Amino acid sequence: TKFISRKIKGMTGDTYGALNEIVEVLFLFLFLILLK
């Protein structure tokens, strides 16, 4: 996130939203893997 923030000088709603989506998907995959 630091790299993105430096590139656009601060966190915008778009980057925050995209980051949130990526993290959410990763957690879902981890959860599914742990269940099996």
Q: How far apart are CA 10 and CA 1, in angstroms?
A: 10
pLDDT attached to residue 34 = 93
pLDDT attached to residue 26 = 95
Q: Which residues of the chain are under the pLDDT cut of 70? A: 1-13
Look at the chain and report how many structural domains it folds into.
1
pLDDT attached to residue 16 = 78
The pTM is what?
A: 0.53
Residues spanned by the domain of 19: 2-35
| CB count in 10 Å sphere of residue 4 | 14
Write the DSSP assignment of 8-34 as a string of letters: HTS--HHHHHHHHHHHHHHHHHHHHHH
pLDDT attached to residue 17 = 79
Encoded tokens for 31 = 């959860």
Q: How far apart are CA 30 and CA 28, in angstroms?
A: 5
